[in-house]
Structure formats: C-alpha cells, structure tokens
Amino acid sequence: MIYVTSDLHGCYDKFMRLLKMIGLKADDTLYILGDLVDRGPENADTVIAAASRKNIRVLMGNHDYLASLMIQKFCMDDGPEDPETLRAKAPELWDIREMWLSDGGEATRAEIMRQPRQVRDVIRRFLGRQPVFEEITVNGQTYHLSHSVPGREKLLDTEHWDLSDFLFGRPEYDKVYFPDKILVTGHTPTGLIDEASAGRIWKKNNHIAVDCGAVFGGPLGCICLDTGEEFYAE
Ligand SMILES: [Mn+2]
C-alpha cells in the first residue's frame, strides 16, 4: 500500500500514532511530503524516525530546506554563541536566519544544539538531500507528489521550473492542472483552502491536499492511494 502524509513539523507523537494506525508494513511505502521540522515540539526525533525507516520516503519542504542550510551555517560549532561570532560565519544569511528563527526555526535550533555534532550532521544532511517531487502510479492512476506546486501555467512550463516552485509554490486549487494526473501536496493547511475542510484531507479538481494542520492543533492526516482510505492521528 502507498500512503501519503505531510507537514509533521516536529509532531512526533502524532507521527508515531499515525504509523500505528496505518500499520505500515515492510512492503508498504509512506510518503512524507516535507516539512518534518520547525514549530513543533520534537523536531530531531521526527527526522531521525523518518530517516531510519526504509519504507518511508521523504520529499523536501521549505522548512526542511531552510533548516538544513541554517544548521550547516550556524549550528555546527560548539564555540561561543554571541551574535557577532555567529553572524560572521555567514553574514549574507543573517537576515534569513532571523526569519527562520521567528517562523518556527527556534524550536529546531534549540533542539539541534543539544545533540552531539555527529547527530546534527546526520539531521542536516538528511533534510538537505531529499528530492522535491516524485511521480508515481497506483492502480493505473498517476500522482505527482511534492510539498507544494506553483500555479498551473508555471507547472506546465517544464523548461522554467525552479526548485522553489515545489517548496514555496502557490497551488491553484480551483484549477485542474492535468486531466489524467492528480497533484498531491502539503504546505497549505486544508482549512485555508476551504474553511469547512479544516482538519480534513481536501480533494477536488485533481488535487489532494493532505496538510491538516497537525502543528496548529489539527490531526496528522494521511491518505492511502490504493484504497482512498483516510487516517487522522490526533
Ligand atoms: Mn511548507
């Protein structure tokens, strides 16, 4: 069976409950469409749990990309942490660091700094090396999986794709992109697509949006692509 979830954001307990709920077997695959870290309570454990299972495939989200870069630049030394010393390591990224910290990165940073250097390195490598999209076929139906997608015109213009389109893109949920392909994405909590769908997986116009806002108090949503069955770990 193929399962898809997204936007764990350090919600380790919900992640563990979801794994139990779906009963993930050795020959099943669970896709996580990015944003393993930031905002939530257990970011390091969430990454390690995902990285250590062969039947879990992770695609990169914007928070994973940024966390990987920030850990590499600012979190690998154990020396003094005064702002001047830190800033000197990568002055060109200092503003981005501030943005990351205020957008949920502080939770990840604090946890990462408590880990041995070797573990930090494993986490930042894992977060930084995942693919941004994957296309799969289940029961004859093709699915495009990624953290996000850009607008329809941009996605159809394959020559001008940019990495950031799949990390920060703004999907047009009111448009069918492909008549024969379903786009499965996270990144946008479903309550923002349609208020009535808050906390539930949203399906329409050959889109499936799976981010149910686990870190904002919603469940961690998951869909089985073979059966259509939905799972919600509270
Ligand atoms: Mn995101």
Taken in order 108, 109, 112, 117, the sign of the CA dihedral is positive
Q: Decide: helix, strand or coil at residue 175.
A: coil
Q: How far is the CA of 82 from the centre of ligand 1 (A)?
A: 30
* Sheet containing 133-138: order of strands: 133-138, 141-146, 181-185, 207-209, 202-204
Q: Can you tell me the distance from the alpha carbon of 128 to that of 113, in angstroms, rounded to the nearest whole number? A: 18
Q: Are 154 and 169 in contact (CB under 8 A)?
A: yes
Please state the domain extents for the chain: 2-63+129-233
Look up tokens 């041995």; give the residue: 116
Tell whether the model's pLDDT for residue 80 goes beyond 80: no
CATH match for 2-63+129-233 among 3.30.565.10, 3.30.1130.10, 3.40.50.300, 3.60.21.10: 3.60.21.10
Q: What is the DSSP letter of 197?
A: G
pTM score of the predicted model: 0.97
What are the angstrom distances between the C-alpha of 188 and each of 35, 62, 198? 11, 12, 11
Q: How far is the CA of 168 from the centre of ligand 1 (A)?
A: 7
β-bridge mates for residue 220, sequence order: 233
143 or 78, greater pLDDT: 143
- The string of pLDDT tens digits covering residues 195-221 is 999 999 999 999 999 999 999 999 999
| pLDDT band, very low/low/confident/very high, at 110 (cuts 50, 70, 90) | very high
Q: How far is the CA of 147 from the centre of ligand 1 (A)?
A: 7
Q: How far is the CA of 196 from the centre of ligand 1 (A)?
A: 21
Instruction: Enumerate residues 6+ apart whose C-beta is below 8 A from 17.
Output: 220, 233, 234
Task: State which residues have CB under 5 angstroms from ligand 1, the bound ion.
Answer: 35, 61-62, 187
Q: How far is the CA of 60 from the centre of ligand 1 (A)?
A: 9
Q: How far is the CA of 188 from the centre of ligand 1 (A)?
A: 7
